[in-house]
Every structure is written in C-alpha cells, then in structure tokens.
Amino acid sequence: MQIEAVTLENIRSHGRSRINFKRGFNCLVGGLGAGKSSILFAIDFAFFGDPLARSYNYLLREGEDSGKVVVEFLVNGSTYRIERGLKRTAKGISQDAEHLNLYKENKLIASMRKEAVAEQLLSITGLDKEIFREVVWVRQEHLKKLLDLTPRERQKRLDQLFRLSDYEIAWNNMRGIQREYEGERRTLEKDPDVLGLDTLEADYHNTIKDFSILESEILKLTDRLQEEEDILQNTATQLQNLEQLRKVTEKLLRKETELRTNIANSEDRSDHLADDIQRKSTTLHELNQRIESFEAQLASRRKQLKTINLSPDASVEDLNRKLSFFDDQITNIKAEQETARKEGRTSNQRTSKLQKENRCPLCLQSLPEDYKAHMLKHIEDENREREERLLELARNIQELNKLRGIVNKAVLDFKAYLPRIGDAKTRLNEEKEFKEKLEKEFEEQQLREKTLRDQLGKIRMEISKFDLSELEAARKLHDAATNQVFAVKTKLRLNESRKQDIALKIEDLKERLERTQQKAERVHKTRKLLEIIDSIRNAYRSIQPKLRTEFVRILERMVQQTIDNLAGEEDYGLNVHIDETYTPYIKSQTGYEREVQYLSGGERTLLAFAYRFALGQLIMQARRGHGLHMLLLDEPTESLGREDRSVDRLAEAIARMKAIEQIIAVTHNEAFAEKAEHVIRLAKEANVSTVAAEI
C-alpha cells in the first residue's frame, strides 16, 4: 500500500493544503506548530473516522464550520480515494455523512454508511484501526510506550496484537461447553428410559405378539361380515321394490292432498274475484260522478268568462296573461291617482298663500285684487276637475278588480280541476282494464276448478289399489338382517379400534425405544466428546506459551537485525535479549544484562525504533500474512543528537528499509530530513500552514 496524496481543508492549522507522497522514504520537515503532525492525524481520520479523544475538537480548524480530508492511495496497482468530512453543529463537532465516499479508479464503491466504508477499506488495505494505530502509525512520544509498560501489561497487550489471547479466550469458552456436555451426560445417565431399556424392549415385543393375534381375529370377522351383508343385500332389494311402490302411492296421496288444496284455493280465488269485480264496478260509478262534478264546475267558470267578453275556451296561460294585463292597468291608474293627489296638495297650498297674501306663489310679485280673484277661481275649477278624475279612476280600479277576481277564480279552478279530471279519467281507464282482467281470470278459475275435480277422481281410484301387508313383512326381514350386520360390524370396529390402539402403543414404544437407544448412544458420544474437549482445552493451554516463545525468538532476531542495520559499520555493542513477557534487555559481551531504563536516551530511542519496527513486521505477518508495507513516524529522533551521528544512522537505516514500500516521517531535524528521498517542507504564516515539496 502506498499513499499518493493527502488533501486537507480546514484541518488544524491547514486552510487548504495538498501533500504529494512518493514510494520510499518521505519526510515532512518544519518548525514547531507548522502542521506536520496534522497530516498524520488527517490520514488516520480519513481511513477510520473515529476521534483519538472524546471529540473532534483537536482536528477541525478553529472558527470554521466544516472541514474535509481526502487521501489518495495505491493498492495492488489500483488507485483509490477516500473522502471524509467534519461539520460543526450546536451540539459539537461530528462527521459529515454527506462527505463520506470511497472511490476506486474514480468509481464510487461505498458512501454515507461508516460500516460499509470500513468493511471495504479492510478488504482493500488489510488494515483495521487497531493495527494502524498500534503498528503502522508510531505517534509522537509513543515510540517508547511499549518499552515503558510493566512486563505483565506488555505481555497482555502484545498477546492481544498477536492474537495469542484468543487461545486463552477459547480455553475459557471451551470450559462452558464442557460443563454443558457434563450436565447432559449426568442427565442422560439418570434418565428412567435409559435405566429401564431392557424392560422397554420386552414390552415392545409382547405388544407386537398381541397385535398379530388380533389381526387374525379381525380377518375371521371380516369374512363373517361379508356373509351377513349378502343376506342384507337380498332383503334390501325386496324391500326396495316394495318401497318404490309405496313411494308411488305416497306420491299419489300427496297429489290428492295437493288437488284438494288447489280446489279449495280455486274456490277461494273465485269468491275473491267476484268481490273484486263488484268493488271495481262501484269505483267506476264513483269516478264517473266525480268527473261530471268537476266538468260542471269548470262550465260555470267558462260562462262567467263569457260574461266579461273573454273566450270560454281560453287556456290557463291566456288567463294568466290577462291577469298580468289587469295588474298593469291597476298599477298605472294608482300611479295617476297619486299624481293627482300630489297636484291637489300643491294647489291647496297655493290657494292658502293667495288668500293670505297678494303675491303670486310662483314669481312672488304683487297681484291686483281682480287678478287674484280670477286666479283663485281658476284653481278651484282645476281642483273640482281633479276630484272628478279621482272618482273616475277609483271606479275604474273597482271595475278592474272585479274583472280580475272573475279571471283569478277561473285560473284557480282550472288549475285545481283540470289535473283532477285528467287523473280521474286515467284512473277510470285503468279501473276498466283491471275489471276486464278480473272478469277474464274469474272465467279461467271456473274452468280450472272443473279440471282439478276430474283429476282428483282418477287419483283416488289408483290409491285404492295399494296393499301394505307385504311391505311390513319385508321390513321385518330387513331389520333382522341389519341388526346382525350391525352386531358383526360393532365387534369388528371394536377390534379395529383395539388394533389401532395397539398399533399406536407399538409406535409409541418404538419411538421411546429409538429415543432411549439414541440417548444411550448419546451417553457414549458425550463421554467421547468430553474426552476430546478436555484434549482440546489442554492443547489450547499448552499452545499459547509455545507460540509466544516462537514469536519472542523471531522478534529477538528481527530487533537485533534492525539494530545492526542502524549501526551500519559501527558497533554499538547492543546485543538484544527478549524474555517471555516481550521485555527487551541489552546484554554486554561479558554477559551482563541491562534493563531499558538504564540505557542512555539515544540507546533507548534506537532500541525503541528497532523494537517497534520488528514488532510491526511480525504482527503484520501473523495477522495478515505479509510484512509491513507502510510506516508513519512522528518525531522518531527523540533523544538523538547530531554529534554522535545517531540521527544520521537512524535516517540512513530508515532509508535502507526497502522491505517497506513507503515511510512517512515527521521531524523538525534537518539532519534527519537530509537522508529522505522525498522532502516536504511546511511552514506557518499568519496562523496558516503552507506546503512546499523539494525536488
């Protein structure tokens, strides 16, 4: 696996930065706080998403609402890209699911769901969070973490990484399984069926013998039943013939009853029809009288119309139009009356003024006495003519109201009586038709009654020919044969039922016997399984220390090889020995062993690096079947100086590690960076990190 590029947006001190990496030894170099370690934090976040602490406060740039990391990497010749984002909310900082995407050759293969992305990454890279943070990424001040643990803590942690603790877990889990089988064995050994297996087998064989005896008896009863059923069949045939004759006679009796009932019904129907015909005649007479009364009333109204010079044959619509005409005339006359009354009131006012004053009421000029008298006389003449006109108009209104009343009564009577006359005539026709139908049905009933009486006479003659004595004798023979068949069937049914019960008992005994035999076999198998489980548990308990010893042996050799590579042509005199707790010791040529805490700062750093590098290679081989392909180092030069060339030797040793495809180291040490194949320089300007790659 090889990281090709990392892009950061609003991550720690980075506003927007893109860092390109190459195969081999890459070195991120810069001053304190330049943003070097931020790139490693970003890589960890992009791959796994989980924060290193309780929140993402350490990762999102201060004052920004969102951030994003994009890592492009190469695995087995294919290019991948993972994008993961952060967002600030009211509750704090969280991952942004909309910016969680995994691409292969620019084709989206997983997104949104963290579990799906994690599963794809594990399949592609073979790295999980535990291996990455414990083996691949050596964080600042964590290089010596494993060396600083107590031997017990170190052994426990490395057993987990090597998966040796799985054997202890399996040993404990197998104890639970062992207890289950032991409980099952004890339960089966006390089972009543297992203890009484011989008695159960004897009961099973005796029941089969009883079943065979009963089957023989059932065969004899079956033969006897066949003989009795033949006798029953003969008597049944004879009885059936007589029953057929009886059924014919009974059918004739039912027919006789039916005819008598039909005759009685026909007589009743004829009586009802006669009554209905009489009632219809009365109804027709009443309808005719009603129509004559309505028509007489209308004739009277038509005569009145004729007296006022209106057509006696006028329709209701014509009369309604005439009413509207009368209403319009009355309205006009009343309007004329109101006008005349207004004029009269005005004239009276003028007369009153003239009598009081000698001025014209219109122009207000003075009037001579003779002209005033003339005017008063003229006004009085007009008033007298107006009064006569009002009397004439009142007489006209009275005459019009009289005419309107005659027309209105005619309209009301026409509306009332014309529909009723039509309805009465319609009903009259319907009643006539119904009466004719009743009369026709009455005649048909008379003929039907005569026909029914003729049929009744013939049926009574046929009924008199049947005799019941032979039928009674045949029934007695049939009943005796039936009882005999029933007795044999009952006995056979009881035996069949008993046979079924015995068969069920046999089946039950067989199942119990099979279950008991299975239980007995299970007891035997359980004992064998317990022996096997005990052997497996012993194997789990014994294999763990053996594998640990082998891992320690290989680890010791790999740590020594790494230290030798670091030394180059020089001899540090660091001979490593590692015990069963994975604790390293430095053995002198005289055989004296020094513990880690008694080494110098430089020696401890070199030993810690060699220890972590060898441990990483061994864990990857044990967990994934291949060595360490990538290594991330954060400030690995702790306690190393330029004077003793320890920094140079470490850098040279790292550069010689061709087994690791890519090493990315973070340092502020220029001497260490000089040995890198690809150097990326970081600086911080105005609180923002800048990136520049050296060619």
CA distance 418 to 695: 121
The pLDDT value given to residue 365: 67
Q: Can you tell me whether residue 654 is helix, strand or coil?
A: helix
List, in order, residues 6 or more apart from 674 with CB less than 8 Å away: 651
Q: What is the rounded average pLDDT of the residues 320-342?
A: 85
Start-end of CATH 1.10.287.510 domains in the chain: 305-416
Start-end of CATH 3.40.50.300 domains in the chain: 2-141+599-694
Give the largest Cα separation in the chain, rounded.
Answer: 177
Q: What is the rounded average pLDDT of the residues 25-29?
A: 93
**Is residue 695 over pLDDT 60?**
no
Q: What is the mean pLDDT of the chain?
A: 83
Sheet holding 107-111, edge to edge: 14-20, 2-11, 66-75, 78-89, 92-104, 107-111
Report whether 688 contacts 14 (CB < 8 A): yes
Angle between helical axes of 469-567 and 646-655 (0-180°, round to 10): 130
Q: Which CATH number fits domain 2-141+599-694: 3.40.50.12780, 3.30.530.20, 3.20.20.150, 3.40.50.300?
A: 3.40.50.300
DSSP assigned state of 598:
G
Token couple for 286: 């009443």
| Architecture category of domain 305-416 in CATH | Orthogonal Bundle (1.10)
Phi then psi dihedrals of residue 666, to 5 deg: -110, 130
Please give the angle made by the CA atoms of 557, 561 and 565, to the nearest 5 degrees: 170
E strand or H helix that includes residue 365: none
Q: What is the rounded average pLDDT of the residues 530-536?
A: 76
The pLDDT value given to residue 16: 94
Span 213-265, pLDDT tens digits = 888 888 888 888 888 888 888 888 887 887 777 787 778 788 888 888 888 88
Helix, strand, coil content of the chain in percent (nearest 5): 65, 15, 20
> How far are the Cα atoms of 27, 561, 634 from residue 612, in angstroms, in the given order?
19, 13, 13
Sheet holding 137-138, edge to edge: 137-138, 630-634, 662-667, 24-30, 678-685, 688-694
Q: Can you tell me whether residue 478 is helix, strand or coil?
A: helix
Span 119-178, pLDDT tens digits = 998 888 888 888 888 888 888 766 677 777 888 888 888 877 777 777 777 777 777 777
Residue in the block written with tokens 């001899």: 571
Residue in the block written with tokens 């046979």: 499
Q: What is the rounded average pLDDT of the residues 413-442?
A: 84
> How far are the Cα atoms of 272, 277, 446, 447 from residue 440, in angstroms, in the given order?
13, 10, 10, 11
Q: Can you tell me whether residue 237 is helix, strand or coil?
A: helix
Span 575-586, pLDDT tens digits = 888 888 888 888
**Is residue 39 over pLDDT 90?**
yes
Enumerate the β-bridge partners of residue 532: none
Sign of CA dihedral 568, 570, 572, 574: positive
Q: What confidence category does residue 101 fall into, taking pLDDT thresholds of 50, 70 and 90?
A: very high
83-96: burial string, b at 16+ Cβ within 10 Å, e else: bbbbbbeeeebebb
Nearest residue to 636 (alpha-carbon basis) of 575, 584, 566: 566
The answer to which of 73-87, 212-226, 271-285, 576-590 has the lowest mean pLDDT is 576-590
The answer to which of 168-172, 565-569, 623-627, 629-633 has the lowest mean pLDDT is 565-569
Sign of CA dihedral 624, 629, 634, 636: positive
Q: What confidence category does residue 477 fall into, taking pLDDT thresholds of 50, 70 and 90?
A: confident
- CB count within 10 Å of CB 524 equals 12
Phi then psi dihedrals of residue 93, to 5 deg: -105, 135
**Is residue 50 over pLDDT 60?**
yes
The pLDDT value given to residue 538: 73
DSSP assigned state of 44:
H
Span 436-475, pLDDT tens digits = 898 888 888 888 888 888 888 888 787 777 666 777 788 8
CA distance 138 to 684: 24
> How far are the Cα atoms of 107, 271, 388 from residue 14, in angstroms, in the given order?
28, 118, 118
